[in-house]
Structure 1
Amino acid sequence: MSLEPTNTEAIRVITRFEASHGIPEAMRADVRMLGGLLGQVLRESGTPGLFDDVERLRIATIQAAETESDEAFERATAIAESFTLERADEVARAFTCYFHLVNLAEEHQRVRVLRERAGQPGREDAADTVATAFAQLRREVGDDEARRRLAELRFHPVFTAHPTEARRRAVSSSIRRLSELLTQHDAASPGGAEERRAVRRMLEEVDTLWRTAPLRAQKPSPTDEVRTVMSVFDETLFTTVPHVYRRIDDALRGEASGHDAPVVPAFVRVGSWVGGDRDGNPFVTASVTREAAEIAADHVLRGIERATERIGRTLTLDAADTPPSADVTAIWRRFETAQPDLAAEIAKRSPDEPHRRAMLSLGHRVHATRTGGGDGYGAPQELLDDLRALQRSLIDAGARRHAFGGVQHLIWQVETYGFHLTELEVRQHSKVHAQALAELESGAALSEQTEEVLEVFRAIADIQKRHGLRAAGRYVVSFTQSAADLAAVHRLAGHALGADAPVLDVVPLFETFADLQAAPAILAEAVRFPEFRARMAATDNRLEVMLGYSDSSKDVGPVAANLALYEAQREIAQWAKASSIRLTLFHGRGGALGRGGGPANSAILAQPPHSVDGRFKLTEQGEVIFARYGEPAIAMRHIDQVAAATLLASSPTVEQRISGAAERFSSIATTMDAASRERFFSLVGADGFAPWFATVTPLEEIGLLALGSRPARRGLSVESLEDLRAIPWVFAWTQARINLAGWFGLGSALEAVGDEQALREAYREWPLLRTMIDNVAMSLAKTDERIARRYLALGDRDDLAAIVLEELRLTREWVVRLTGGEGLLENKPILQRAVQLRTPYVDALSLLQLRALRGLRSDAAQQADDPELRRLLLLSVSGVAAGLQNTG
């Protein structure tokens, strides 16, 4: 990977480094080109000598990584320390730009591979697609049962505004434009005018990236966060999801796809907490929630309107060959009556083209729905009825390709997104509800907080009236610790609106270790409440339960948390099955491995029997949203993979393997649980741990980054971890290159078991353990002990540092022994390459961050407000996040 070095020694070092990691030639060419453009920009736009200083530090960190020499590492450290603060600032910015370009090249390579597979018959039929999952189900349960399960398939990602996206939106937009230019460059003839034009425009865009301030000047508002998420829908998801359905239908039905009715349902539903999640965020108010719903509705209605007009323009089917049905004629007559002038204009442009006229009239009605016109639709079902009437007319007239082509795509879009786009969910802490009820039922004057709680229910009711029940109906209760916490929501809704209270699906969120254990009993009591019984009766006995990965991991450590989550899911699923309840488990998985992240499809196939049953819902946040859904080809592949795992998770073979392994290795789980918790508490329970943690990581400074509207912690003190949110807990350890939240305690857990042969067998046959160890391997691969030691040295607690380093050694040793080979990720070579290629460059930024952190820690009273040191630290935080590709 190159910034186009001119020094012969630099070229030799970089070439050897690239070759040793087997980077694909096409990707190498992309990185060299983009890196060369960045080098040109640094020479043209940076201060004198910047390019040479960047090269010096880069070559030094590569040599330190290659040789693992302390002398080489000290040489790299000395270079980082030698820069003036102004120069260090520029160097940090340069490495951050470089990471953005490398990440872009890697994404482009993934897209290139996906497109190559799609162009080769049989290559696209990978083992983890819905088509192959359906084929396996048919073999195991028969055709009718497999079709029933396919018809009920549901994948429900929920986008959150958790502040883990370190990039500014302006930076993301620049990278997206570069991605489009890379695609144009690939398509251009080598050496031709189009290729030169693409390179010239890329150089201009790289210059823009360099000159764009990498740090936000101020925190985004909740409405800003809503609009940021909307960009994913506008640019990718709205058009991509129906293509996912089509690709699956193509694979399942072959040539019949597009000619006959599809067998693939609109199985994606997209939720959002952006503008609805007020737990710990005082800036999310009832008015923000209303505005979030309006923004989302405006975006989807614009999309449907454009799609309707586009399809309408193609339906130039003459009435003589393709006569309309009575229903289509009636659609047109109603429009003529309601909008005679518009109807006359459409008729003039569409002579003897009845289906075109009808479709264009639907577009005008969608426009009226968006703008509040009198002829708008009252609900998406009305539009679906018209579209299906038009589809039937085309079928009856013999135009089946039109009926099951563009018209079907539009039907899929409306089924998926309705008129609301995202199913907006409200979340609030149980303590806030308790305080509000206490005020309401004591007769005392209501506080501002309680008035706001009541106004939220009024906002939900208004959204439901305007956009339908799907637009806003779920109410998530954080830190649910009793059935009374759930009943409180209905009582508050009654206080707010009486008999006009909105329809609510109240969703408990079990987060701590103790709450997970208490969950089955709490649920058994809650479903006896009249409000729960009535809602479940209206929804075919459906119930949704959310599980929190973040706080449980911070509570007892990642190993015990994973085991507790599995056990809670198993017990809840068994209770639901015995009670004939159709359960949906909602997984609060973060993007980072310390927050339950990792490959979603692997996690799904490790869930307890009956806990998935064809329905998978999870949170997606920050950088994960853009990584998984920001590029159409990658989004299609991700959705297909997750849907396939969701469909396959309830197959007899998978369920038997999971339940059998859990029973066979239960003693191992018991031993691991106890040992990991004991080790975790020996660290976090030590006197002074919380302030020490804040000293040896950039925890305090992370709170200054304008990542999101939500405060970094619930209180002001770092004397206790209880008030610290899970995101900064993970983010801070990640920045210190320790990643403790993702692995700590696993080494002690495996050592307590001790039987390597039994553990190897468990790793092979127990999906839960395999997923856990593979995720820890990734977390460890992004850990750097040499740099971690320097962070730990910032705190005057050799005892705590020793615990961390010893557990790191033990965990790495056991993970390598169980996964095979001599190093981490040797069983996942592509992932290993991606991590190893970035390591020296992340090291460079870490050295700059350490320099800034030492300065800020050296004399807190005098240095705390040093703006240059603080800016350097924040720049390095942004760069390390880009390099490691995960934050919190």
Structure 2
Amino acid sequence: MNAQASVPVSVASPDATPSKDLPLRDDIRLLGRLLGDTIREQEGEAVFEIVERIRQTSIRFHRDEDKAARKELETTLNSLSRERSNQIIRAYSYFSHLANLAEDQHHIRRSRAHAMAASAPREGTMAYALKLAQEAGVNQAELQEFFASALVCPVLTAHPTEVRRKSTIDREMEVSQILALRDRQRLIPEEVSASEEALRRAILTLWQTSILRRTRLKVIDEVMNGLAYYDYTFFQELPRLYASLEDQLAAIDPVWSTLELPSFLRMGSWIGGDRDGNPFVTADALRQALLLQSRHALGFYLEEIHRLGSELSLDGRYVSVSEQVQALVDASPDHSPHRQDEPYRRAISGIYARLAATAMALGHGEVARHAVGDAPAYRNTEEIAGDLSILHSSLTSNGSAALARGRLRKLRRAVDVFGFHLASLDLRQNSDVHQRVVAELFEKANPGTNYGELSEEGRVALLVEELKTPRLLTSPYLDYSPETASELAIAREAAVAHQRYGQVAVPNYVISKASDPSDVLEVALLLKEAGLLRPHDGEMRVNIIPLFETIADLRDCGRVMEALFSLPDYMRLLRSRGQAQEVMLGYSDSNKDGGFLTSGWELYKAEIELIDVFKRHDVALRLFHGRGGSVGRGGGPSYQAILAQPGGAVQGAIRITEQGEVIAGKYSNPDLGRRNLEILAAATLEASLLHSGQPAPRAEYLRAMEELSDSAYKAYRGLVYETEGFERYFWESTVIGEIANLNIGSRPASRTNSRRIEDLRAIPWVFGWAQCRLMLPGWYGFGSAVNAWLETHPENGLALLQEMYREWPFFRALLSNMDMVLAKSNIAIASRYAKLVEDEALRDAIFPRLRREWEDSIRRLLSITGQEALLDSNQLLARSIRNRFPYLDPLNHLQIELLKRHRAGDADEQVVEGIHLSINGIAAGLRNSG
């Protein structure tokens, strides 16, 4: 069915600003005024006037593709010099960044308002999850069992869609801190003036700081950038979250006051271990990443222990200490007469000395603040945790319990969470690489094996037999290809890390493009070569995690795991991992492969099948969700996404990737970071204890989704992979070529030098469509699918879809995410990008299809949800999007003009810089674009 003439494609127009949102409006106006003043002072009145004129014209163009406005925009933009274009782009980019900060501060403001008003617990908080658990009759023993076995782990990755530099993030944090100060304190006029002056300085610094990196990031640069979020958020907020949760539990049941929660919420990372398609992640890079992580953790502990020593000035003549504390005092190298009667300080001096020695032993070099004397290094984190617990017990037993609940409490939790390793670093590599490496190892050890030519059954048989013997295939007297040598070095470096930092430092090995049991067994063989798998002991020291990421692999994952669990030798190894198996599901590549609707549905079905297979073999399932920032890569609200999983999919454990610009958006602000960590924990608790036994969706829902998915898949594949010239259309109508040259990550944009869609990474695929405001990966195929469904089910088809939206969390979350994506899209602007395609016939063959599907998708979405316009049910987001359109749209128009110049042969450095600046600004305005 074709779209009707009038399609309500507008974003909902919110009512007048509610009083609770007036502070947000005031903050945006304040930041906008200060930015405007900065532009006037630095660039002149003329530049500011151009900024305003473009904004107003853009608003007119945004409404109904006003032709006069379009001509006026083109005339204005074409007349801009290269330098002037970049000034305008920077102005709009910085406004988007500042508006984001104001919105973040408003979210914090509203959360605090609810807390101060003692409002009922809100969704996504641990208080709300515990309240639901109480109402459901979950007792203390069941909660304790959950926390004892639970694992919630956000995993930071270096996927390249974070276009900001740390220098600009630091200044933006300064703006956030000033806004928070103005919001939380009653300031006298002099303080108001001082805070505004501080904002001016921060904004001026931003304006005079380059947004862009001049050189491409190296792997170690990415590691350092990732470590910054521990200083921003994780070091402080994770211990606070645990303390708050323990106190909430104690308020519910006094039994909890004597218990300490296990550290079930921990951090993970891929930065320095993910070498899938990244030739720069080597054994040396892995070693450096682990060293930097460890140095960061111990540096934090040393500073906190020093501060703790300055706080615990308790005099032994006034307080008693335990025998264990006295033993710490006696062993301490601190013999200063000034601290003779201060047992806690002397004990802490000894702890500091031992930790400083540990840092030296781990290769960190000299610590900034020297110890008072020599002391033996700690052999592991359990030893320092034990010493800190001795201080805690003594304080608690001798009238100083309140002191034990201060810095010491948070430090003890930090040591338990971060250890000497900071974050668990995953290894990841593509199965094709493993196959080549294993084939070479067999051929070197036994020429004529021809591993690569064996059937799957033959490979499995050979691998299983080899895994039974402790004999190694490798020899120091043989030469191996650079690829094989590199892979072996990585595995051996992981083994060294286990000895140095503990097994938790490198606990996981992820296999990209996993499609057969042999893919898992090949990694087991490589682990054996490094001593990380012990055949005689039946011990495997690393979790092997297959990643199913294409539509075909998702459909086949149940068969693969069934075959793997049917191997007694593998099950023996799995018992050493607690009879638990982790499986990773890829949202990005499955979307690029089959489109948004089919990807979501196949992921859901894969989880159902995995639940069944794991249950039959009595294996605990842990899912690792490879979600990106954008909806096209599995993004969207984490709370709703976790609760939308099939019943039994979240068995007390979940890992989720945090990628690209989402990391800064979630974790650069400590208050927001705490909130996002709490959401993950709360949703996992709810899904595990309250939703695990929920009934399967009704059969007619499943049949409907299957039909919708089939139609959407055909429409998507028909466009992307079966339309002649579509590849060229994509490259010419988006900034994908320019993104590939932007210095936003160490990893290449494509797996090969090919321009084929199949070889392109999912990240730039989604990022490119976001930049041109079409957002195709987040909706294409939905309109066609619903049209086909209604044609074959004319009587009650729409009513059933509406019922599915009301009753089925999975379907509701799917459409909610699509609602947001379509609201951020702009067909008028996308039409201007289409004009960049040189072949007019190709353009006319493809863009009308895109427009028709876009209109159909919106019309069908609204009919199912019952909304009159996009985001009718989310007024806050609707207001946010409408407020930023006037500043976001001009960036697109300017980007288009610069692309025209660049592709016409203008190689001026300012043109290239302008394109890259516009990419930054548009990404900031959209927030979750990669």
The TM-score, its normalising length taken from structure 1, stands at: 0.92
Matches within 5 A, 1:53-452: 53-65=50-62, 69-123=66-120, 125-143=121-139, 144-186=141-183, 190=187, 192-254=189-251, 260-262=257-259, 264-319=261-316, 322-333=319-330, 335-336=331-332, 339=333, 343-345=334-336, 348-372=337-361, 375-443=376-444, 445-452=479-486
Aligned to 1:635: 673
Indicate if the aligned counterparts of 2:434 and 2:522 stay in contact, CA closer than 8 A.
Answer: yes
Aligned to 2:912: 870
Deviation at 1:538, TM superposition (A): 2.6
Task: Give the match's secondary structure for 2:673.
Answer: helix
Aligned to 2:457: none
After the TM superposition, which of the residue ranges 749-758 and 392-401 deviates more from structure 2?
Answer: 392-401
Indicate if the aligned counterparts of 1:273 and 1:425 stay in contact, CA closer than 8 A.
Answer: yes
Q: Which of 870, 877, 882 is the equivalent residue of 1:831? A: 877
Give, as a single letter, the amino acid of the residue that structure 1 aligns with 2:753: L
**CA 1:38–1:617 in 2, change beyond 3 Å: closer, same or farther?**
same
**CA 1:745–1:530 in 2, change beyond 3 Å: closer, same or farther?**
same
Deviation at 1:528, TM superposition (A): 5.3
**Superposed CA offset, 1:765-790 (max 9, x none):** 11111011000011101100111112
Is structure 2 residue 575 aligned with structure 1 residue 524?
Answer: no
Q: Distance in 2 between matches of 1:231 and 1:486?
A: 34
After the TM superposition, which of the residue ranges 52-61 and 772-781 deviates more from structure 2?
Answer: 52-61
**CA 1:47–1:438 in 2, change beyond 3 Å: closer, same or farther?**
farther
Q: Which of 733, 736, 739 is the equivalent residue of 1:699? A: 736
Task: Give the match's secondary structure for 1:598.
Answer: coil
Indicate if the aligned counterparts of 1:696 and 1:793 stay in contact, CA closer than 8 A.
Answer: yes
Aligned to 1:742: 778
Give, as a single letter, the amino acid of the residue that structure 2 aligns with 1:136: L
Give, as a single letter, the amino acid of the residue that structure 1 aligns with 2:335: A
Task: Give the match's secondary structure for 1:661.
Answer: coil
Indicate if the aligned counterparts of 2:250 and 2:256 stay in contact, CA closer than 8 A.
Answer: no
**CA 1:573–1:696 in 2, change beyond 3 Å: closer, same or farther?**
same
After the TM superposition, which of the residue ranges 467-476 and 25-34 deviates more from structure 2?
Answer: 25-34
Indicate if the aligned counterparts of 2:308 and 2:407 stay in contact, CA closer than 8 A.
Answer: yes
Q: Distance in 2 between matches of 1:134 and 1:190?
A: 38
Task: Give the match's secondary structure for 1:275.
Answer: coil
Q: Which of 573, 580, 584 is the equivalent residue of 2:611? A: 573
Task: Give the match's secondary structure for 1:133.
Answer: helix
Matches within 5 A, 1:681-700: 681-684=717-720, 685-700=722-737
Gaps of 5+ in 2: 1-12, 362-373, 445-477, 791-796
**Superposed CA offset, 1:435-486 (max 9, x none):** 1122222228422121111110111011111111001121111111111111
Is structure 2 residue 811 aligned with structure 1 residue 769?
Answer: yes
**Superposed CA offset, 1:28-70 (max 9, x none):** 2212221111111111111561111111111222344467644
Give, as a single letter, the amino acid of the residue that structure 2 aligns with 1:613: Q
Aligned to 1:619: 657
Aligned to 1:716: 753
After the TM superposition, which of the residue ranges 530-539 and 582-591 deviates more from structure 2?
Answer: 530-539
Task: Give the match's secondary structure for 1:260.
Answer: helix
Q: Distance in 2 between matches of 1:113 and 1:553?
A: 35
Aligned to 1:672: 708
Task: Give the match's secondary structure for 2:510.
Answer: strand
**Superposed CA offset, 1:153-174 (max 9, x none):** 3210000000010112221111
Task: Give the match's secondary structure for 1:421.
Answer: coil
Task: Give the match's secondary structure for 1:50.
Answer: helix
Give, as a single letter, the amino acid of the residue that structure 2 aligns with 1:537: R
Give, as a single letter, the amino acid of the residue that structure 2 aligns with 1:384: A
Aligned to 1:12: none
Q: Distance in 1 between matches of 2:253 and 2:818?
A: 45
Indicate if the aligned counterparts of 1:114 and 1:633 stay in contact, CA closer than 8 A.
Answer: no
Identity of aligned residues (%): 34
Deviation at 1:530, TM superposition (A): 6.9
Displaced runs of 4+ in structure 1, greater than 6 A? 255-259, 498-502
Give, as a single letter, the amino acid of the residue that structure 1 aligns with 2:290: A
**CA 1:492–1:760 in 2, change beyond 3 Å: closer, same or farther?**
same
After the TM superposition, which of the residue ranges 430-439 and 661-670 deviates more from structure 2?
Answer: 661-670
After the TM superposition, which of the residue ranges 746-755 and 458-467 deviates more from structure 2?
Answer: 746-755
Indicate if the aligned counterparts of 1:249 and 1:257 stay in contact, CA closer than 8 A.
Answer: no
Deviation at 1:492, TM superposition (A): 2.1
Deviation at 1:263, TM superposition (A): 5.4
**CA 1:752–1:842 in 2, change beyond 3 Å: closer, same or farther?**
same
Q: Distance in 2 between matches of 1:532 and 1:396?
A: 49
Give, as a single letter, the amino acid of the residue that structure 2 aligns with 1:767: P
Indicate if the aligned counterparts of 1:312 and 1:360 stay in contact, CA closer than 8 A.
Answer: yes
Indicate if the aligned counterparts of 2:151 and 2:653 stay in contact, CA closer than 8 A.
Answer: yes
**Superposed CA offset, 1:793-824 (max 9, x none):** 33332222122111101111111222233210
Q: Distance in 1 between matches of 2:596 and 2:679?
A: 25
**Superposed CA offset, 1:257-279 (max 9, x none):** 89933554322110000011111
Q: Distance in 2 between matches of 1:733 and 1:878?
A: 14
Aligned to 2:474: none
Indicate if the aligned counterparts of 1:661 and 1:765 stay in contact, CA closer than 8 A.
Answer: no
Is structure 2 residue 646 aligned with structure 1 residue 600?
Answer: no
Give, as a single letter, the amino acid of the residue that structure 1 aligns with 2:856: L
Give, as a single letter, the amino acid of the residue that structure 2 aligns with 1:577: K
Task: Give the match's secondary structure for 2:415.
Answer: helix
Q: Which of 503, 514, 524 is the equivalent residue of 1:480? A: 514
Q: Distance in 2 between matches of 1:361 and 1:290?
A: 29
**CA 1:432–1:319 in 2, change beyond 3 Å: closer, same or farther?**
same
Deviation at 1:705, TM superposition (A): 0.7
Aligned to 1:4: none
Give, as a single letter, the amino acid of the residue that structure 1 aligns with 2:130: F
Give, as a single letter, the amino acid of the residue that structure 1 aligns with 2:612: Q
Q: Distance in 2 between matches of 1:364 and 1:579?
A: 50
Q: Which of 542, 553, 572 is the equivalent residue of 2:580? A: 542
Indicate if the aligned counterparts of 1:165 and 1:622 stay in contact, CA closer than 8 A.
Answer: yes
Indicate if the aligned counterparts of 2:85 and 2:914 stay in contact, CA closer than 8 A.
Answer: yes
Q: Larger RCO: Structure 1 or Structure 2 (Cα < 8 Å, ≥ 6 residues apart)? A: 2
**CA 1:705–1:266 in 2, change beyond 3 Å: closer, same or farther?**
same
Deviation at 1:185, TM superposition (A): 3.6
Give, as a single letter, the amino acid of the residue that structure 2 aligns with 1:247: S
Q: Distance in 2 between matches of 1:374 and 1:273?
A: 35
Give, as a single letter, the amino acid of the residue that structure 2 aligns with 1:687: E
**CA 1:118–1:440 in 2, change beyond 3 Å: closer, same or farther?**
same
Deviation at 1:121, TM superposition (A): 2.0
**Superposed CA offset, 1:208-250 (max 9, x none):** 1111122211111110111111110012111111111122233
Deviation at 1:134, TM superposition (A): 2.3
Indicate if the aligned counterparts of 2:247 and 2:257 stay in contact, CA closer than 8 A.
Answer: no
Task: Give the match's secondary structure for 1:267.
Answer: coil
Q: CA RMSD in A?
A: 2.4
After the TM superposition, which of the residue ranges 162-171 and 728-737 deviates more from structure 2?
Answer: 162-171
Gaps of 5+ in 1: 1-16
Q: Distance in 2 between matches of 1:844 and 1:51?
A: 14
**CA 1:495–1:758 in 2, change beyond 3 Å: closer, same or farther?**
same
Indicate if the aligned counterparts of 2:438 and 2:522 stay in contact, CA closer than 8 A.
Answer: yes
